[in-house]
Structure 1
Amino acid sequence: MRLRNKPWAHDEINKEPTIVIANPEQQKGNWNNIFGNNNPIHIEVGTGKGQFLTKMGQAHPHINYIGVEKYTSVIITAMERVRDDNISNVKFLNKDVMNLVDYFEKGELDQVFINFTDPWPKARHEKRRLTHEGFLKLYESLLKPHGEIHFKTDNQDLFEYSLHSFSKYGMILNNVSLDLHKSNMVANIMTEYEEKFSAKGMRIYRCEAVYR
């Protein structure tokens, strides 16, 4: 996917430091102070334009959400959504997922969402997949015991790879769906990509993986 360059995005983001946290490494271990409560913290890695997370924040006001997105030209839209709808329990980091340990303390998170991530189909790029063992270790180091990963994708190969990766890591798989929109799941909040793909009749794959 080619992203449009938005040279003005950095300046706009800097105007909203309470939404896009400028120096997240300074908040490590203290995110509940940022939100002003002790509610659970859920993060989305690769949050994109923020539709999923903003709607989750509105639907679940007693959960704190943090979206991590490295592309400034994309996260600006997510920031605008939170600002315009005055959503207080959603924050963003304009950072790379690779550096999560710099921003969160061990056991500070409750849940991780991975939605429609780049499948990185070539074998030489396997370690870049967000469900690779290396990333599973990263998430585990930040999640509370028995923390969860909720994963959605339109890519069957990535889904099969991820199921194997979760299982090999020793995680428990729950609510595995090979066609989410034809399942009996209720209250499913869609991402932008999910709306686009499902409108074309494409299958959406979903599962929940729990650390033992």
Structure 2
Amino acid sequence: MKQYPHIIVSNPSEHKGKWNQVFNNDHPIHVEVGTGKGQFLMGMGMLHPEVNYIGIEKYDSVIITALERAIESEQPNVKFLNEDVTNILDYFDQGEVDRLFINFTDPWPKNKHEKRRLTYKGFLDLYKQILKPTGEIHFKTDNQGLFEYSLESLSGYGMSLHNVSLDLHKSDIEGNVMTEYEEKFSQKGMRIYRCEAKFR
């Protein structure tokens, strides 16, 4: 990973507030937390060259696959951070991010693990600080329980919900890019839940 600092950015805190300098443009910045193997982010990067994408993934074993994909495609608008999302305020300045993606995160179904869910109010506190006032959170999951919890958490936090889908692949939402998990689950006939949320 150290051989590709232009793809997996080391010491991201050094770029806090200056990510447009890293990309050498003033395009909007979209961040995916828990980016996994990078399929979603690479797909989005290809579809939207006018957007800068940053994926955060803490597990080395997983982000290696994302790196391999990025090396092969040579997309200049996609970067990765091998970091923990709990430290996201160290990497982005206030209002620096235009959109945040949360895709197929661990549902942490036990009540005692609620604070670990990436749609828990503690995480929303962090997201609100790095997102622009007009910023959005886009959320996808196969887990109905997590989706119901997240809708309640997002709306309870004072966010407005848009484009809520209880079966994404049977909806009229356009431009959907699938993650690895999404492909796997949808092939089994499982529902994919999706929503968008904005701070009021």
Q: Which residue of 2 aligns with 1:10?
A: none
Amino acid at match of 1:102: D
Amino acid at match of 2:30: H
Amino-acid identity (%): 67
Structure 1 residue 146: deviation in Å?
Answer: 2.2
- Count of aligned residue pairs for this structure pair: 200
2:111 to 98, 123, 146: 123
- Can you list the C-alpha shifts for 1:61-86, whole angstroms capped at 9, x where unaligned? 00000000000110011111111111
Amino acid at match of 1:67: G
Measured on the aligned residues, the alpha-carbon RMSD in Å equals 0.5
2:96 to 104, 108, 118: 108
Q: Which residue of 2 aligns with 1:207?
A: 195
Structure 1 residue 186: deviation in Å?
Answer: 1.5
Structure 1 residue 29: deviation in Å?
Answer: 0.7
Unaligned stretches of 5+ in structure 1?
1-12
Q: Which residue of 2 aligns with 1:74?
A: 62
1:85 pairs with 2:95 = no
Structure 1 residue 184: deviation in Å?
Answer: 1.1
1:43 pairs with 2:43 = no
Q: Which residue of 2 aligns with 1:58?
A: 46
Secondary structure of 2:137's counterpart equals strand
Distance 1:14 1:144 in 2: 31
Distance 1:156 1:100 in 2: 27
| TM value normalised by structure 1 | 0.94
Distance 1:19 1:52 in 2: 16
Amino acid at match of 2:15: Q
Distance 2:100 2:176 in 1: 16
Matches within 5 A, 1:1-212: 13-212=1-200
Secondary structure of 1:134's counterpart equals helix
Amino acid at match of 1:138: L
